[in-house]
Structure 1
Amino acid sequence: MTEPQPQCIRNVVVVMPAHNEERHIGKAIAALKTAADALQRKHPDITASICVVLDSCTDRTADITSANMAGDPRFSAVSVKLHSTGASRDYGIRAAMDRLPPAGATSLWVATTDADSTVPEHWLVRQVELADAGADAILGSVEPDPDDVDPAILRRWLELHPFREDHPHIYGANLGIRASAYVAAGGFPRLRAHEDRLLVERVRRHGFVVTATDTTRVVTSGRMQARAPEGFAAYLRALGSELPAVAGG
């Protein structure tokens, strides 16, 4: 049976979980504002909203978030105690979908990033282009911040993660999905790590169109103090452990 063509995107929601990100979140919010402004200029008929999910924060993350989004009605923040990146992402997405009629799920696009990451100006514009061309999920690329990671670790990371189209990588810091596909796949699982991989696996099993691209590349923190036991920072630390020269400078 021929699948119906996906509806054009009419609403975009960005969900960004944050746990004790006082060092990075101001810059992350500024980048999202720039991306939302670019989307509004390119597609004035598309509404965009950004939800910051503050999960169990004990530092100044909430205060910095409030100050940086003040006066911008596109932004909202919610505080939760889920202790899970996957659960935080899912909470924000479900809350956004609850504000729309059920029929709106096929024209709602959800983009996710992280509070230690900065998205490019065209981030949302490009995702909408790919979604309107038929993508149900978009896997963007990620680059560790060159100013925040040891050069030897960065070189090794780039060797293992070349920037190209149709790449095999999945990052919650740079992911987009049609809301109808998200619901069909069961959403993000309540995990502290790899929630993005499991969601994409389910999306693919359901036969949705998944597009991997380097055209929406996000810069993320190069820190190696892991917040999640098997997350991005832990991976960078593991790469560092393979390079004895790093420890000696």
Structure 2
Amino acid sequence: MIATSVHVVIPVHNEEGLLQSCLDAVQGASARACALGIDVHTVVVLDACTDRSALIARRYPVEIIEIDAGRVGRARRIGTDAALRHADEETRAWVAHTDADSIVPGNWITHQVALSAGGSDVMIGTVRPDFADLTLRHVDHWRATHTPGRPNGHVHGANLGFRAGVYRHVGGFAEVPEHEDVTFVAAARAAGFVLTASDVAEVMTSGRFVGRTPGGYAGYLAAQEEMLESGVA
């Protein structure tokens, strides 16, 4: 069944330097989807923010929720629960997650709607780092190990979408400091839902080595850089 409403959720923890670019991109993708008759609603969850993130978010037509959890799993859960309260018909509602340090492409929402029409229940989207944050050697390594058109199926909260029914069935996101996205997808897979790995709407995320969670994508990039420096990779 094709999704007719999309609910975007963005957890934020002290991202004043990158949040504007993130929200600009989401607004662009939303406008493209709305032009096709798709209803789009965005929820920004400000989690323990002590910087200017709230001021930046208030410039945009988004729902803002402020919490003090310090756990991205709880932020995603609260944001998704709030978003789905706006869904008139949950059977046709789709939830799209990204991160505040990420930039989604213009087709990010419309591609997920197309996947829903094709029978997908969960989209596992690819991400790529902002090459401006990496050394040339690291960029070359990344390109050599990532083939366009062959998504690797790695789970990233910065590019994850799913039907509302999947979320309800698996009990939502675990309220953990990190890897809530991985455990969610594992539960959806175990429940027999249709999962689709896709790089058609690849998201660009920060290439920093120190992130907002103990590991996450920043930890992965930092480990890669260490291997490159040691000559292992």
TM-score, length basis structure 2: 0.94
Is residue 141 from structure 1 mapped to residue 126 from structure 2 by the alignment?
yes
**1:202 matched residue in structure 2:** 187
Structure-2 separation of matches of 1:156 and 1:239: 9
Alignment match, 1:221: 206
d(CA) in 2 for partners of 1:162 and 1:170? 17
Aligned to 2:166: 181
- Correspondence 1:81 to 2:73: no
Alignment deviations for residues 183-230 of structure 1 (CA, whole Å, 9 cap, x no partner): 111211111211111100000111000000110100000011122112
Query: 2:142 aligns to what?
Result: 157
After TM superposition, the structure 1 = structure 2 runs for residues 63-142 of structure 1, keeping only pairs within 5 Å, are 63-67=55-59, 69=60, 72=61, 75-100=62-87, 104-142=89-127
Distance 1:165 1:106 in 2: 30
**Residues 1:54 and 2:46 are matched in the alignment:** yes
Aligned residue number for residue 7 of structure 2: 13
Aligned equivalent of 1:28: 22
Q: Kindly state the Cα deviation for residue 36 of structure 1 after the two structures are TM-superposed.
A: 0.3
State the secondary structure of the residue aligned to 2:223.
Answer: helix
Shift of 1:52: 0.6
2:194 and 2:21 mapped to 1: Cα distance?
A: 32
Q: Which amino acid aligns with 1:19?
A: H
Tell me the distance in 2 between the aligned counterparts of 1:211 and 1:143.
Answer: 18
Equivalent in the alignment of 1:167: 152
Report if aligned partners of 1:166, 1:211 keep a CA contact under 8 Å in 2.
Answer: no
Distance 2:85 2:198 in 1: 29
Aligned residues: 231
Identity of aligned residues (%): 37
1:245, CA displacement in angstroms? 7.2
The secondary structure found in structure 2 opposite 1:243 is: helix
Distance 2:52 2:145 in 1: 35
Cα distance in structure 1, aligned partners of 2:146 and 2:155: 11
- 1:166 deviates by 4.8
Q: Which sections of structure 1, spanning at least 5 residues, go unmatched?
A: 1-6
TM-score, structure 1 as length reference? 0.88
Q: Aligned Cα RMSD in Å?
A: 1.6
Shift of 1:154: 2.7
Aligned to 2:226: 241
